[in-house]
């Protein structure tokens, strides 16, 4: 079902290419309900569209509410694809006919196949690309938690992400390298700074060697950041969605 841009802006509701728009609905809160196991994510954002992704712990129907405001006034509820073992419980819904250069808010639930129970909602937001020429602000990072260096809670974790989020970028470019299987993290590392007496204490990975002190690790850089800590995986909530593990 397609909705004109004028209707979108007036009602702050949005449509999708493969979904059917329906009025906002009330959801039950049962004990045994589906769970969105990997949060929500947004990708392929353009001037007028985006893809929303999630994963459920059981066969379920993906439901997405979309609005132009964070309190979801006059939101539209879209029925997305089935989340089944054939796709490892994952599903994607493409949003279309969105206004350019706008903050878009969405809320995702998984509905049991009997239609009687739903998961707790997870919310996210993204900004569509501007139409025509405009200033664009973006951030980037790479080489995440590598060369023996992990997340040090004593220093507030990966503070570079907080600094990047404070810039309110239009988009974030993650250059990868989040897994270093041949470089396990040790419990404590002594930075190669003569006489500093400082230590670096990342949470060790399950495959880490017996705790020891290393004096050969290279120094971390301010651009070394991560989306997830080593096991147990701890992912920060992204502006594009809330991640729960």
What is the per-residue pLDDT across 230-244, written as a single tens digit (0 to 9) for each? 333 333 333 333 333
CATH 2.60.40.380 in the chain: give the residue spans: 5-127
Per the CB < 8 A criterion, the answer to whether 172 and 163 are in contact is: no
Helix or strand (DSSP H, E) at 163: helix 159-166
> How far, in Å, CA of 225 to CA of 68, rounded?
31
Instruction: Express each pLDDT in 15-71 by its tens digit.
Output: 444 444 444 444 444 568 999 999 999 999 999 999 999 999 999 999 999 999 999
3-state percent helix, strand, coil for the chain, nearest multiple of 5: 10, 30, 60
CA distances from 179 to 12, 145, 183, 184, 242 (A): 40, 8, 9, 10, 22
Helix or strand (DSSP H, E) at 164: helix 159-166
- What residues are paired with 232 via a beta bridge? none
Query: Has residue 86 got a pLDDT over 60?
Result: yes
Lowest-confidence pick of 93-97, 193-197, 212-216: 212-216
CATH number of 5-127: 2.60.40.380
> How far, in Å, CA of 69 to CA of 185, rounded?
43
Per the CB < 8 A criterion, the answer to whether 127 and 159 are in contact is: no
């Amino acid at each position: 079902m397609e909705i004109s841009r004028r209707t979108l802006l007036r009602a702050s509701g949005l449509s999708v290419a493969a979904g059917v728009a329906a009025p906002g609905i009330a959801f039950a809160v049962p004990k045994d309900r589906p769970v969105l196991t990997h949060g929500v994510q947004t990708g392929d954002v353009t001037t007028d569209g985006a893809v929303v992704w999630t994963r459920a712990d059981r066969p379920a129907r993906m439901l997405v509410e979309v609005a132009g405001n964070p309190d979801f006034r006059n939101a539209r509820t879209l029925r997305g694809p089935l989340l089944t073992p054939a796709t490892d419980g994952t599903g994607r819904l493409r949003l279309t006919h969105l206004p350019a250069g706008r903050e878009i808010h969405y809320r995702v639930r998984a509905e049991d196949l009997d239609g009687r129970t739903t998961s707790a909602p997870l919310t996210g937001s993204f900004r569509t690309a501007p139409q025509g020429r405009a200033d664009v602000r973006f951030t980037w990072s790479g080489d995440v938690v590598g060369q023996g260096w992990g997340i040090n809670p004593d220093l507030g974790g990966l503070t570079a992400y907080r600094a990047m989020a404070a810039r309110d970028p239009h988009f974030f470019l993650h250059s990868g390298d989040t897994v270093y299987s041949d470089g396990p993290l040790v419990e404590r590392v002594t930075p190669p700074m003569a006489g500093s007496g400082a230590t670096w204490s990342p949470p060790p990975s399950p495959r880490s060697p017996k705790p020891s002190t290393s004096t050969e690790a290279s120094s971390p850089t301010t651009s070394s950041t991560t989306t997830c800590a080593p096991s147990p995986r701890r992912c920060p909530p992204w502006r594009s969605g809330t991640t729960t593990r």
